[in-house]
């Protein structure tokens, strides 16, 4: 089964696409990597989520895997930012308002105006679960997820 998860042409794919993959990855990292000392209210978080969502929802198959991978890291950085803001008294503590909930609310804001928050939140939870799976598959390098076949997409 594990062998079916790898592309038959993984080496050729890398050899033929390494430059475009590298350029895409660098651009994605530049647009979506934000410092943890950035306040959770900074609009850069929303812009980062929107950049990732455009790739995930678009027609860029191998690149969407890298976007899923990066989504895990952006969300982790945002949670750290929320934690720092809470530590320095910039967030008033309320019951049920954990760091993860605040981070998810910001991701929800990145979706723009939505008519059904519950449905969109469920979709975002699913997207975050998929991103964690891709991050797991990517260990020890995010570029490894490009070697997986389309069967891996079905497992996600």
10-residue block means of pLDDT along the chain (156 residues)? 74 91 96 92 98 92 92 97 92 84 96 92 96 89 83 78
Angle at CA 69, nearest 5°, toward 64 and 70?
95
Q: Look at residue 150 in the predicted model and tell me its pLDDT.
A: 80
Q: What range defines the domain where residue 71 resides?
A: 2-155
Q: Look at residue 155 in the predicted model and tell me its pLDDT.
A: 78
Domain count, the chain: 1
Q: Look at residue 3 in the predicted model and tell me its pLDDT.
A: 61
Q: Look at residue 2 in the predicted model and tell me its pLDDT.
A: 56
> What is the pTM for the complete model shown?
0.89
Angstrom distance (rounded) from CA 8 to CA 95? 51
Q: Is 89 left (phi over 0), alpha (psi -120 to 50) or beta?
A: left
Give the distance, in angstroms, between the CA of residue 11 and the centroid of all CA atoms in the same chain. 26
Q: What does the chain come to in residues? A: 156
| Residue 148: strand pairing partners | 6
Q: Look at residue 138 in the predicted model and tell me its pLDDT.
A: 84
């Amino acid at each position: 089964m594990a062998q079916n998860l790898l592309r038959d042409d993984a080496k050729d794919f890398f050899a033929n696409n390494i430059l475009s993959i590298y350029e895409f990855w660098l651009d994605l990292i530049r647009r979506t990597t934000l410092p943890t000392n950035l306040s959770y209210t900074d609009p850069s978080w929303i812009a980062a989520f929107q950049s990732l969502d455009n790739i995930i929802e678009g027609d860029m198959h191998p690149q969407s895997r890298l976007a899923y991978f990066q989504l895990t890291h952006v969300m982790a950085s945002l949670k750290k930012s929320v934690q720092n803001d809470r530590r320095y008294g910039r967030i008033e503590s309320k019951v049920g308002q954990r760091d993860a909930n605040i981070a998810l609310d910001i991701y929800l804001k990145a979706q723009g105006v939505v008519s059904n928050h519950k449905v969109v939140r469920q979709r975002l939870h699913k997207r975050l679960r998929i991103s964690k799976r891709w991050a797991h598959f990517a260990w020890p390098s995010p570029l490894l997820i490009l070697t997986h076949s389309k069967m891996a997409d079905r497992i996600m």
